[in-house]
């Protein structure tokens, strides 16, 4: 009987400690736990096991798509374009990543996976004779990562339509090569005259203003994002995460990096193990799945 009590005691102590962390006075732990769980595709159920949906929504600062601001397309780009392409490593207090600036937005394109299984970023870059690229959209199915999640526009036409909600958070380039981001319904999406566009969230910067985020929003995770400066230069950002040398970045972290580099409009791309960047023939970051680099539905590449 004593041995049985000892065996039960350890799990009970661990459970009590875990519950104390979840509901105790250490608010930071609770915020990081909820944000990290809710911004993964695998572990959202863990947060919902312990907290109500209303509390989770307050913590993560969930915004309905129709409430998001929109790029003011009446503000024209400065068209200060040239052939410059700049690559740099970036570092924060708890993350490491890479930033590419492409000075001519006409060099970008948005190729899609030719197969339902998806393809590696290096394969997309090579097939399009590109200099580099970054992962973009999320995938609809874990076993068919070549099928894109959300609304997608290529060559001015929808190639996928998400019908679960009326409004959608969209980012993409119009025929003036301006990055247009915002929350739109389908008719409003068409009115933006997108050459290509994708659905993802959250918005990071709109019309030169940072989107406000609650503390630790998004948790600490691998990230990818795209932004554009007032001159029209395009910023591609990837941050490693879930590693000893790079824990990961919050939404505020990547927002800060892009804003400091002149972004006036910016949107988050699919992160986690998907976040990857290729430059001049090679993968430059370390995706969090290690050797198991993810197959992608599409990518943003530049020639």
One DSSP character per residue, 110-144 reads: --B-SSTT-B-HHHHHHHTT-SEEEE-S-EEETTE
* Percent of the chain with pLDDT strictly greater than 70: 90
Question: What does pTM read for this prediction?
Answer: 0.90
Query: For the chain, what's the residue count?
Result: 303
Residue with tokens 């910016």: 266
Q: Mean pLDDT, the chain, as a whole number?
A: 90
Pairing verdict, β 152-154 and 194-199: antiparallel
Per the model's pLDDT, the better-predicted residue between 157 and 8 turns out to be 157
> What is the pLDDT, as a whole number, of residue 30?
77
Quickly count helices (H) and strands (E) in the chain: 7, 19
Is 235 within 8 Å of 84 (Cβ atoms)?
A: no
Bridge-partner residues for 85, per DSSP? Answer: 102
pLDDT of residue 156: 96
Given this model, what pLDDT does residue 155 score?
97
pLDDT in tens, 63-91: 788 889 999 999 999 989 999 999 999 99
Q: 45-73: string of b/e by CB count within 10 Å (b at 16+)?
A: eebeebbeeeebeebbbebebeebbbbee
pLDDT tens sequence across 206-251: 999 999 999 899 999 999 999 999 999 999 999 999 999 999 999 9
Residue 163 has pLDDT above 90, yes or no: no
């Amino acid at each position: 009987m004593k041995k049985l009590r000892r065996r039960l005691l350890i799990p009970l102590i661990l459970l009590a400690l875990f519950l104390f962390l979840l509901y105790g006075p250490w608010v930071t732990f609770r915020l990081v736990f909820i944000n990290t769980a809710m911004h993964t595709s695998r572990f959202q159920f863990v947060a919902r096991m312990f907290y109500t949906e209303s509390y989770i929504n307050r913590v993560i600062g969930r915004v309905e798509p129709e409430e998001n601001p929109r790029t003011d397309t009446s503000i024209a780009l400065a068209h200060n374009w040239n052939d410059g392409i700049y690559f740099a490593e970036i570092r924060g207090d708890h993350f490491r990543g890479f930033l590419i600036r492409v000075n001519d937005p006409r060099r970008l394109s948005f190729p899609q996976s030719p197969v339902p299984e998806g393809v590696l970023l290096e394969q997309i870059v090579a097939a399009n004779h590109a200099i580099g690229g970054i992962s973009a959209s999320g995938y609809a199915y874990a076993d068919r990562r070549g099928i894109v999640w959300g609304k997608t526009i290529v060559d001015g036409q929808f190639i996928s339509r998400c019908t679960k909600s009326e409004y959608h958070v969209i980012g993409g380039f119009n025929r003036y090569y301006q990055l247009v981001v915002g929350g739109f319904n389908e008719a409003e999406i068409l009115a933006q005259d997108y050459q290509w566009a994708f659905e993802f969230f959250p918005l990071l910067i709109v019309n030169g203003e940072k989107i406000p985020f609650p503390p630790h929003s998004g948790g600490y995770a691998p990230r990818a994002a795209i932004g554009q400066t007032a001159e029209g230069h395009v910023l591609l950002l990837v941050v490693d995460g879930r590693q000893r040398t790079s824990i990961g970045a919050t939404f505020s972290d990547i927002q800060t990096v892009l804003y400091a580099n002149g972004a006036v409009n910016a949107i988050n791309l699919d992160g986690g193990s998907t976040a990857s960047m290729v430059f001049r023939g090679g993968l430059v970051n370390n995706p969090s799945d290690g050797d198991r680099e993810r197959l992608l539905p599409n990518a943003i590449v530049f020639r």
